[in-house]
Amino acid sequence: MTARNFAAFPANRPRRMRRDDFSRRLMRESRLSADDLILPVFVLDGAGREEQVASMPGVSRRSIDGLLKLAEQAVALKIPALALFPVIDAAGKSLDAAEAWNPEGLVPRTIQALKANFPELGVITDVALDPYTSHGQDGLIDESGYVLNDETLAALEQQALCHAQAGADVVAPSDMMDGRVARIRSAFEAAGQIHTRILAYSAKYASSFYGPFRDAVGSAGNLGKGNKYSYQMDPANSDEAIREVALDISEGADMFMVKPGMPYLDIVRRVKHELQVPTFVYQVSGEYAMLKAAALNGWLDEKAVVLESLLAFKRAGADGVLTYFALDAARWLKDSA
């Protein structure tokens, strides 16, 4: 044999493991399953009502009867939980947001209907005042429009307790007030609600990707030119997200959310790797709208990009993903299993 110049060859050939399906499967580091998915849903008052959300093709607001049909599909596909968002009509909106803790309100009635029909399906409720305030802010405001922290805490406590007492499995404060997790946790302990979990939207950014959601729940018009910069986080920040999650750990939260999703994968990774907590991420309405619009135009392959985006959340470290694609994704995963 003549001596060969090995320097002329690649020293390593990573392509060997990528050559065949069997070896690609063996070295796959992250996996996505229906167990990772949470379906956000919009609920309306009344019966037999279903309205499409124009900026979110394929997503609609439904009255409780229609929502139960959606829940049935989620259960059949083994999706662990729903996240409930109410659409409140103008009569239910006020300056003090009192409808938010009405025990006969839309959210408590929806929780009761879901738990009565599908006891095994986790019900997550949003704790924030924006569906109930006439100005569309997540909290109570002063004369200048500034969102008042401590006054809002009292309202959030009543709202969270109302949801827990109606049977919510998880309450998810998405308001970004300081101290709300501690406040809700102590109210739960005092009321004997020791099993209700708290999913804290700890790292919730003041994002422009929430636009279609605000259309869906009808808060966009009320908010008008207002913004949420004085409580939601600045998109420029990363260390601050770690401090926010650390605070919510100390205040007694069980699960921690990063929101939005795809533009914030670095935050998902930092939270999971630096704090080792149950980490969730919200693929928000604007992300859904982007993917859906491109798919509807034939510019992207919907199934492929949606599953890739969800897998990317897992790779970054997420334990679960809230996504409007949850039902479709669970179906696709089942078909390819």
Residues with a catalytic annotation lie at: 204, 259
Which residues, other chains included, contact 326 with Cβ-Cβ below 8 Å and sequence gap of 6+?
37, 38, 39, 40, 74, 79
Per rule CB under 6 A, is residue 130 in the interface with ligand PBG? yes
Shortest distance, CB of residue 240 to ligand PBG, whole angstroms? Answer: 17
Please check whether residue 146 is in contact with residue 135, taking contact to mean a CB–CB distance below 8 angstroms: no
Q: Residues 77, 113, 128, 168: which binds ligand PBG (CB under 6 A)?
A: 128
**Hey, what are 173's tokens?**
């404060």
Both structure tokens of 168:
């919510």
The closest residue (CB) to ligand PBG is: 213
* Contact letters for ligand PBG, residues 181-210 (x by CB under 6 A): -----------------------------x
Measured from the CB of residue 202, what is the shortest distance to ligand PBG in angstroms?
14
Residues 6+ away with beta carbon under 8 Å from 24: 17, 18
CB neighbourhood size of 142 (10 A): 9
Should residue 126 be labelled a site residue for ligand PBG when binding is judged by CB under 6 A? yes
Closer Cβ to ligand PBG, 1 or 236, answer by number = 236
Query: By CB under 6 A, is residue 107 in contact with ligand PBG?
Result: no
Helix, strand, coil percent content, the chain, rounded in steps of 5: 45, 20, 35
Q: Where are the beta strands (DSSP E) in the chain?
A: 37-44, 50-52, 60-63, 81-86, 122-127, 170-173, 197-204, 255-259, 279-283, 320-323
Interface with ligand PBG (CB under 6 A), residue total 11
Considering only 284, 316, 327, 333, the residue that binds ligand PBG (CB under 6 A) is: 284
- Residues 209-238, interacting with ligand PBG (CB under 6 A): 210, 213-214, 228
By C-beta, is 52 or 117 nearer to ligand PBG? 52
Closest CA to 113 of 70, 155, 76, 156: 70
Contact positions toward ligand PBG, by CB under 6 A? 126, 128, 130, 138, 174, 210, 213-214, 228, 284-285
